[in-house]
Chain A
Amino acid sequence: MAPRALTRCSIVPPYLLDRIAASADGPEGLLAGPARRTLATDARLRAARPERARAAVGPVEPGPQRTVSDARGTTELPGDVVRGEDDPPTGDPAVDEAHDGLGATWALLLEAFARDSLDGAGRPLPATVHYGRRYDNAFWDGERMVFGDGDGQVFGRFTASLSVIGHELGHGVVQHTADLPYRGQSGALNESVADVLGALVEQHAAGQSAEEATWLIGRGLFRPGVRGVALRSMAAPGTAYDDPVLGRDPQPGHMDGYVITEEDDGGVHLNSGIPNRAFHLTATALGGRAWERAGRVWYDALLDPRLAPASGSGAPDFARFAAVTADAAVRRWGAASPEVEAVRAAWDGVGVVPEG
């Protein structure tokens, strides 16, 4: 009977590519915003470059070290290098979006958290685009970010959303910090932290406040004709899409809807909706730029020894993460601060009781 357990998770209906009619309309309208924003970031990074060159004998001015490779439709990694840090745009949107997105992520980490790259020590940022054929995914392979072009019917290329690029690099930041085990609740936290960083990269690049932000992850990935705005909504998990073919966004936004499943490493991309919404509640309660307070709390939590792999107390669950974020807010702003109140109310709002 064990195999039947696999199909128990019926919350995601069958997914049939062929039934979606390809549209002649391109996704350019959706992409225009993110593209403009990353261009602005790129200009800022380029402006910093001559100083780095001059500083060769002194302290090195931090800057991203990006390398984008092209798998040319194969699944061989890393592929051929097509753009290095100092190279001009190639004209290939996937290559240039990856380059710009890596830069925007690097800029958020440095400017918001004073962190130089994924490891805090200037680690290079490698990416591979055009991975596989009609490949409907982007992933972090432990070393680099990898992007497929999408099937062209449901999904376009995965570099088209800055939040996706930030998300994948977010996995790199987690790997170098709390390294949350990728299963069950700690896996959902790993996913959620990656979404938080992805959203913050987009907001930081656009100069958006918590009120102005979309809080959508993967906006611009769907091809025209798909009934949905993005893959996930941090503000309202479960509402990002509702499509005859894809089905309905299955994310819960409260512990009442927590999904138990064997698939997807124990539902890591489903239950991440719960801590995602806790972050959104914190950020919108505080208002302003989300990376300055809510983001800072979450980032501080990642560095807390109680979440570290060597803590000896098992994989962190939502309750421990909630306690660690509340403590992080106390340390930075004091026990009676609005920040602490916002964090506590947020976890309460999603039905998570912090570990005592």
Chain B
Amino acid sequence: MRIEVSRSGGFAGLVRRAELVTDGREDADDWLSLAEAARPLLPAAPDSARARDAFVWTIQVDDERAVVPDGSLTGPLRDLAERALELGRPPG
């Protein structure tokens, strides 16, 4: 499984990206079950359309992709996104 995450926007306008391939990782099973819990990759809560300077997350798991405002990113999908950003490698 391949996971790609970017967190853009925010006051600073800085983009952070990370990608991670679970195949061959010691913690591959943890990632697979986390991704299972996070599916479907949809925001759990509606976002405030009035939010400004909020982060915007783009999360791609294999062929599935979601663009989620920070205020709507909750539960397992948030765990997945934050852990992938922290533990993944910068692309390229």
Contacts and interface: CB of A to CB of B under 8 A. Distances in A.
B55 interface: yes
B53 interface: yes
| 9 closest cross-chain pairs (CB), A and B | A269-B13, A142-B50, A14-B90, A263-B8, A139-B53, A171-B52, A140-B52, A137-B10, A264-B9
B9 to A, nearest CB: 5
A136 interface: yes
B53 A12 contact: no
A139 B58 contact: no
A158 interface: yes
Interface in A1-15: 2-3, 6-7, 9, 12, 14-15
Given A15-B16, A141-B54, A171-B52, A3 B91 contact: no
Contacts of B48: 141-143
A211 to B, nearest CB: 27
Interface string B66-92: 000011000000000000000000111
A265 B70 CA distance: 13
Contacts of A231: 11-13
B12 A264 contact: no
B53 A168 contact: yes
A139 B17 contact: no
Interface in A266-317: 268-270
Contact of A137 (B50, B55, B58): B55
Nearest to A7: B91
Contact of B53 (A6, A143, A171, A250): A171
Contacts of A138: 11, 53
A264 B11 contact: no
A171 B52 CA distance: 7
B42 interface: no
A168 B50 CA distance: 12
Contact of A158 (B4, B11, B60, B91): B11
Given A142-B48, A263-B6, A136 B12 contact: yes
Interface string A155-192: 10010000010011001000100000010000000100
